[in-house]
Amino acid sequence: MNIGVLKEAQAGETRVAATPATVAQLLKLGYEVVVEPGAGAAASFSDEAYAEAGATVGDPLAADIVFGVNTPTAAQLDGLKEGATLISLLSPMLKPEIVEDLAKRPITALSMDAVPRISRAQSLDVLSSMANIAGYRAVVEAAHVFGRFFTGQVTAAGKVPPATVLVAGVGVAGLAAIGAAGSLGAIVYATDPRPEVADQVASLGGEYLSVESDEVEVSATGYAKEMSDDYNTRAAALYAEKVPDVDILITTALIPGRPAPRLITAEMVASMKPGSVIVDMAAINGGNVEGSVAGEAVVTDNGVTIIGYTDLAGRLPAQASQLYGTNLVNLMKLMTPEKDGQLVLDFEDVVQRAMTVVRQGELTWPPPKVEVSAAPAAAPAAAPAPAAEPPAPMTDEKRLTIVGVAALVFFLIVSQAPNALINQLFVFSLAIVVGYYVIGHVHHALHTPLMSVTNAISGIIVVGGLLQIGQGDDAITIVSALAILLASINIFGGFAVTRRMLAMFTRS
């Protein structure tokens, strides 16, 4: 089978569905590739580069499988042969008229923006790929308009304060924006209805601003969901408080299949400082910011620039095309199990089923719901473990018996020991008693620092070893050397542990 790569007909589109690098990967799967003349010109991929990669430059509409970025025009759809498979961004949730049109044609259509957000399908997730690029580009566009440093500097001419950036929505685009703004030296804040993203924000050097609400957002689709009125009211209060102090605001909130939620009102925009910049990444779906215009940058009366560009990913066409083409290659790997150039559409696979809009002229949209929530299922309540019976307390008779036996053994040793050893045994016995009552009655939480210090007292062993070593007896010399070595390790180890523990309570 052969794959055709369309030249995008949508005005201003710079991306292409395959690059010379992805063409080589498609050839390894057994497919032939036909690229429309000039398809990659806007992304700096020449027809010669495709030819060198092994593709043929010609008519892609005659191919068995047709790749595109956007929904093809009516003329392009009319040119598809019967039984062809179309794979592109069809937006079936937002464009029901396209779904109806496709259902009238004897073709199969798969939408790349309908990939379910499950772990196995991450390599096919075009929305994440494009959002990553768009989030990065949003910061670049804001920096271009902002006209000042992002990072703070101290110069001979005075101090330059760092820019303050607020990112609303910590999805893939939001995280990319946080990383890009932080790498430029800005102070970055971020907010999101999902409290679990706080760690992700912190890992990129940002500060998470939580909305104090009893509602915790857990989505069963992998995307954000519409929040309650109570949450929206609290979020609006947070934005109203924070927005006047930020230099750059980037909004990324989108709900699949619905208009973008309105986060920033005109009053909030009016409260911002002149020269501030807003990048509304949801402008294509109505916008998160009141006053944003899809595809344009507008300046408000108080000097705030609102950027509503809808082609942020396309402003990095070579990178966007490479990532999109790689997503398509990963899909073809999934649908070409034998790597023999034969496409196999498996409806038992939830990923392929979810992406299929039309199958041989038969409408298959919408697909069955795919539960992708990462929230763990509630485990069945385990039966309570039987309470362990407490150990029986030692009886007085048993305790007295043990003490008596120990005393008898001690007196037998003393009766046979020389006078010099008796004094040492007496001191040793006292040390055991004192150590038991001192150490044994200390709380467990204090054992480590206490033992690290008391172990250091064993330095007296080093002194004793030094006095005994070199007495002319090899056995005494060996034992003394071992005692010095082990006691030294104990001393240095004890102080090292103590120092590390004390450092835990020291403010940096």
Q: Which residues are the active-site residues?
A: 117, 122, 125, 128, 223
**What tokens does 303 get?**
């000097």
Q: Is 158 helix (H, G, I), strand (E, B) or coil?
A: strand
The DSSP H or E segment spanning 189 is strand 187-191
**What tokens does 210 get?**
């939580």
Amino acid at 457: I
Q: CA–CA separation, 483 vs 498, rounded Å? A: 22
Helices then strands, counting H and E runs in the chain, come out as 16, 17
The residues near 403 (Cβ < 8 Å, ≥ 6 apart) are none
Gyration radius of the chain over CA positions: 36
220 close to 371: Cβ distance less than 8 angstroms: yes
Helix residue ranges, H only, 104-155: 126-146
Per-residue buried b or exposed e for 376-395, using 16+ beta carbons within 10 Å of the residue's own CB: eeeeeeeeeeeeeeeeeeee
**CA-to-CA dists, residue 364 to 80, 356, 357, angstroms:** 19, 7, 5
Backbone angles phi, psi at 88, to 5 degrees: -165, -175
The residues near 186 (Cβ < 8 Å, ≥ 6 apart) are 150, 151, 162, 163, 164, 165, 248
DSSP state of 264: B
Helix residue ranges, H only, 391-446: 396-416, 419-439
The DSSP H or E segment spanning 2 is strand 2-5
Q: Which residues pair with 35 in a beta bridge?
A: 5, 57
Q: For strand 153-155 and strand 164-168, is the pairing parallel, antiparallel, or unpaired? A: unpaired
**CA-to-CA dists, residue 14 to 25, 38, 114, 314, 318, angstroms:** 22, 11, 22, 6, 9
